[in-house]
Chain A
Amino acid sequence: MNNLLAVTETILLFTTIISLIGISISLLLLLYRIITGPTNADRAVALDSIGMNLMGVAALMAILVVTTKFNDVILLIGILLFIGTIAVAKYLEKGVIIDRNMD
């Protein structure tokens, strides 16, 4: 029984580390897209995806450091990501973020 628990913890640790490595590679590729994006919309989408990957990093770190205190942070990153992406999209489309009256 004790042996099984140790095996499960080892599997969980290795899975988490492998997922962290995968997310790191994804973050590097997205950074490449941000640096050499032809248009600004490419950079906005890449920033959005970087935020989603950061949510994954926060969740994996919450597994590594055994805690539940990071769950609020994950939700917070998602919300800020959404608002930031909407602000960038409105700026790219209209030039203003908060407009006076929208007819």
Chain B
Amino acid sequence: MDISFENVAYTYQPKTPFEHRAIHDLSFQVSSGTFVAIVGHTGSGKSTLIQHLNGLLRPTQGQVTIGDYQLSSDKKLKEMKELRRRVGVVFQYPEHQLFEETVAKDIAFGPANFGVDQAEIKKRTYEVIQAVQIPEDLLERSPFDLSGGQMRRVAIAGVLAMEPEVLVLDEPTAGLDPRGQKDIMDMFYRLHQEKNLTTVLVTHSMEDALHYADHVIILDHGTKYMEGKPAEVFVKKEELNKVQLDLPEVIQFIFKVEEKFGFRLTYRGQELSELAQELKELIRGADNHE
């Protein structure tokens, strides 16, 4: 589904002394099937933005359009439930939302709320546990017996079982070990491609944004600061530093190489180690020619 924000503003507790303007003058467009990363410093309004995508918050100004659904301040959306089914949100630390007796029941909770029948739920459950790599024998265990990493996978499976068309991820890898972080991100990327999802990733990690996203939106103080293709956005060192963001490691590496050797490596999604290898070969090649 296409997503578009038109001059959206959201104020928490308006007309009270605790009034707080979280986002303002926010406009952007994301076409269906895009993997978009939303990056910004803490408090830049990322999480508030996310809650507009499935109608948990309604803009106090402007208009949010998701597919055929429109959210604005003046009217309530009738098909809210349908919107929530089609936009799956994985919140920060999603393992905190588990509550059922067994893993299987917890995964079924979302689809059951949206009226999916038992047989279909069962079919989906087996699909999603494979996608998030949970062994089948865990299905009848209590979610509270699992390790932190497994609990998060179960929580994610619960969202995927709704078969959303838009997947919204709010720092899905926070607090995981490096291996777990990579596994989960790769999994989301695979799903994104296989199911042709529109994925919105909120992250602090420039590396993830560069590596997975097609489009990057940088927020600062509640409004859009920059947007574009990751490879174009993440080379603007001064602009990023102004909003307390760093370049991803690989880009920093490429810049350092340029500074030292006078030539530029081209970025095509390589890891740091692959870039180092490339550099090694280039230098060796240059040596051989002399």
A and B, one complex?
Answer: no
- Chain A interfacial positions (CB closer than 8 Å to B): none
- B interface residue numbers (CB < 8 A to A): none
